[in-house]
Amino acid sequence: MSPRYDSEWIARLLDGEERFGGADPREMLAAEGIAEGHAVVDYGCGPGYLTLAAAELVGAAGMVYAVDLEPSMVDLVSRRAADAGFSNVGTAASNGVNAPAPDGAADFVICALIMHYQETREERVAVVRDAARLLRPGGKAVFVQWKSEGGRSSGVTFDSLADIAAEAGLAIEGPYHVSDAQYKAIARKEAGN
């Protein structure tokens, strides 16, 4: 495991105060309409902070697919879900180009704090296009991103994300406040797309 994925780094990713300014993950996801019976893809799930919250919300009738590039994160989410008693969480390592899930499989796709890992606009477009591919018509992609203001060079501006979403065929709303360092944007897949 790379030092980036050591226990200290994982603990920081699971610290809701540090990651999302104390926002409750269940409340954050429920506010977007994630509920009993939905299918959700947590795209770039990391250690599963939002995955397990989504699993609780969708219940036994729903399904959460946790996808990450890092196999150790996928393994960790699988263990955490099993330890928490969730049988509605499936995990898979991604190749970084396409999430291993079928087209139109999800009511919701969560893309939380991952866009800044994509170094080029083309890579960011590829992620958003893949999220759009996963959505059913009428589905929503929930993007939580670092703000680029305040000297943060790794953020993705809302305007940039909106341009990319439009290119991917998604209508976007926002930005909405998550914390002083983050915003949320909601991208919808229109019926017929």
**Which tens digits make up the pLDDT trace of 6-19?**
666 555 565 556 66
In the chain, the percentage of residues whose pLDDT exceeds 90 is 52
Q: What is the band of 1 on the pLDDT scale with cuts at 50, 70, 90? A: very low
Q: What angle do CA 178, 168, 105 make, to 5 degrees?
A: 80
**pLDDT score of 14:** 56
**pLDDT score of 142:** 95
Q: What is the band of 151 on the pLDDT scale with cuts at 50, 70, 90? A: low
Mean pLDDT of the chain: 86
Domains and CATH numbers, the chain: 3-188 (3.40.50.150)
**Which tens digits make up the pLDDT trace of 59-93?**
999 999 999 988 988 999 999 999 999 999 999 99
Is the predicted pLDDT of residue 29 greater than 90, yes or no?
A: yes
Is the predicted pLDDT of residue 54 greater than 80, yes or no?
A: yes
The model's pTM: 0.87
Average pLDDT, integer, range 155-165: 88
